[in-house]
Structure 1
Amino acid sequence: MRKIILSVLMAAASSLSIIAADYPKAQIKAVYTYKYLTRHTDGHDIENTDNMMLLASPVASRFFSVNTEQYDSLMARPDGKEKYQLMSREAMKDAIVHENGEMRIDMSRVKKPLDGVAFQVTRKPDADVLDVYDSMAKEDYVYQVPMSDLLWEVGDSVKTILGYECQQAVSDYHGRRWTAWFAPDVPVSSGPWQLMGLPGLIMEAESDGGEYSFTITGLEAADCPITPRPGERDLFKTTRKKFLAEKRDRHLNPEKYMPGVTLVNRDDAMKAALSHDLIETDYKDK
């Protein structure tokens, strides 16, 4: 069992003990589609998607999964676990198939309710580091990333996104090359995930090869507090590369973390795991 070296109480946004004025105010609310590729054991790529939200001001921001936020908010309620179990039972009904007078469960139709990615990225007011929250093996972690890690080269190409004229910029960031499109007319130097620092909101970004991408689908003015993640949890403080290295090792060597468990079709599973690396690949750098 790891030693807990950082324990943080993260209150639900609805808690009466929290005063909204304690938090920076968001000036924009942006919704993005996050796409990332994984490989099925039969050899074909799977395009996974999640709806993400960015709350941002010129000095602070928070980026998170809409589904995960709804799940956390639900579980922060006294009756949250009971309501989630009911939702899970309802979702299971969609997987029941009746054929030739028999009933079976089609596992491909089983959808976990409010299933979103775990990572969240927060910038505190005027901070020069990002706080990244993520989970692994049902434990929650936090680590910091210097904003100075991200350097952009602005190009001449332009295109229109959501009615805004956007400029192109490229960056080599944590092992991948990213092409982004930002809107100078939206004067918030923020964007999806850890991508920010341009003179305008990043509306779209894709890694070379298209394994990872963020595309804005909605943008509106906002006047709401940038609150922390709902609920209470213990956080393990770590470093970025340490966290990513263990996460990748769990993908490639699952038996090491599950003693006594034999992986079926291990060769196919390893080929699938090797096909697409993490969104950051420099964890291998020494």
Structure 2
Amino acid sequence: MKILKLTLIAATISTVAFAQNADKALARVRYTFSHMRDTTQRDNFTTENMLLVIGKNASVYTSYDKINRDIEMRKQLEEQIRSQAGSSNGISINRTSSKPVTSIDYFYFANENKFFTKERLISNYLIEESAPKINWKISKDTTSFSGVKCQKATTYFKGRNWIAWFAPELPFQSGPWKLNGLPGLIIEAHDEKNEVKFQFAGMDKVATEDQPKTQDQTITFPNGGTGTVKIAGMDGITYLGTEIKLPTDAIKTTQKDLDKLKEARDKDPQGFMNAQLGARGISGNFSRNVTIGAPSTGTKKLIFNNPIELPEKK
């Protein structure tokens, strides 16, 4: 536990202000993501609704299902706080669904050639890297999806042969997941074995009056904890606003260090939460105050043999 606290404190000290400026969000593109996680069950796909928010320079790709789950959890939290004002009772928030969602958000800044992955483990953690270089081969084949005219491109990337359809009339270099770099928005993409698919589900223009569905607020926990906790959008809610920007409270880390934090979380979830909040200057035994989880008594860890990123061919 002492090692965990020291690790968290060191990580907090490394919180930095990243150089990437906020970009105006121009459109939101929805995809249906399908993934054959187990190659021994080739008819069994996990599906998820995803969202790509795009601007002239920046984009962020996240789980739309995660956003909707976070909004529902936020509503539960706000309702319980209002109903239990001044009470010493704990707060219990149940997720409406135990369906797993993609936990990582992907930020792409085309002009700076920067790529960031963001994951929330109580605090936001960011890993910075150069944008992946994808050697696309553009063909003359064309088709349309929901009235959007597209052109075909192929590549070998992250261990798979990919087929993508991009829209030259939509001059955005972004696409779902880590796929980007074409002279037009990637509308659909799949690997040649059809084990991973990103299918177009719609596109909406961002209105200038759009704002996140809920605003940040400060919450004081009853008994057992001191200070206040700011609930900062609960992940993807802020992606429904008018800007694309990195989280201002992000902690810069490496994949190796993030994996260590995940290991510590899995071994002692409650101790991990208390240590994370303690590193942010919030003390107390929060197990008496807040419970966030699925309605079931436990969550079965998913095991699969077919990740999106496969070993590169030698």
* TM-score over 0.5 (shorter chain): yes
Give the partner amino acid of 1:213. K
Is 1:226 paired with 2:243?
yes
Show CA shifts across 1:158-205 (max 9, x none): 111111221111111122221100011112121111111111110001
How many residue pairs end up in the alignment? Answer: 227
Aligned partner letter, 1:133: K
**Does the C-alpha gap of structure 1 residues 172 and 25 become closer, same or farther in structure 2, counting only changes over 3 Å?**
same
Q: Is the 8 A contact 2:136 2:153 kept in 1?
A: yes
Question: What is the CA–CA distance in structure 2 between the aligned matches of 1:178 and 1:44, rounded to whole Å?
Answer: 19
- Specify whether residues 43 and 71 from structure 1 end up closer, same or farther in structure 2 by C-alpha distance, changes over 3 A only: closer
Secondary structure in 1 aligned to 2:170? coil
1:131–1:144: 8 Å Cα contact kept in structure 2? yes
Q: Which residue of the partner structure matches residue 49 of structure 2? A: 51
1:237 maps to 253
C-alpha distance after superposition, 1:116-157 (max 9, x if no partner)? 211211124732011112368x88643234225222111121
Amino acid at match of 2:15: S
In structure 2, the residue matched to 1:199 is 183
SS at match of 1:195: coil
The equivalent residue for 1:112 is: 98
What code does the residue aligned with 2:243 have? I
Contact map agreement 1:69 1:229 (CA 8 A) in 2: no
The answer to whether residue 48 in structure 2 is matched with residue 31 in structure 1 is no
Cα displacement (A) at 1:85: 4.7
Give the aligned residue type for 1:52. M
| Cα distance between partner residues in 2 of 1:215 and 1:193 | 12
Unaligned runs of 5+ in 2: 82-90, 209-241, 269-301
Query: How large is the Cα RMSD of the aligned pairs?
Result: 4.1
Q: CA deviation at 1:216?
A: 1.1
Q: Deviations over 1:199-224 (max 9, x none)?
A: 11100011231221111110122245
Distance 1:153 1:147 in 2: 18
Give me the whole-angstrom Cα distance separating, in 2, the residues matched to 1:68 and 1:8: 26
Preserved CA contact (<8 Å) 1:74 1:80? no
CA distance in 1, matches of 2:131, 2:27: 21
1:44-193 aligned at under 5 Å gives the runs: 45-73=43-71, 79-80=77-78, 82=80, 85=92, 88=95, 91=96, 111-112=97-98, 115-124=100-109, 126-134=111-119, 141-193=125-177
2:149, 2:177 → 1: CA distance?
A: 22
Q: CA–CA distance in 1 between the matches of 2:43 and 2:37?
A: 6
Contact 1:29–1:54 under 8 Å retained in 2: yes
Structure 1 stretches lacking a partner, 5+ long: 10-21, 92-110, 260-271
Quickly say closer, same or farther: Cα 1:146–1:190, change in 2 above 3 A.
Answer: same
Equivalent residue of 1:149, what SS?
coil
Sequence identity (%): 24
Instruction: Please give the alpha-carbon distance, in whole angstroms, between the structure 2 residues aligned to 1:243 and 1:149.
Output: 25
User: Contact (CA 8 Å) 2:126, 2:250: kept in 1 or not?
Assistant: no
Q: Which amino acid aligns with 1:117?
A: T
SS in 2 for 1:31: strand
Change (3 A) 1:23 1:129: closer
TM superposition score normalised by structure 1: 0.64
Instruction: Measure the CA separation in 2 of the matches of 1:58 and 1:25.
Output: 8
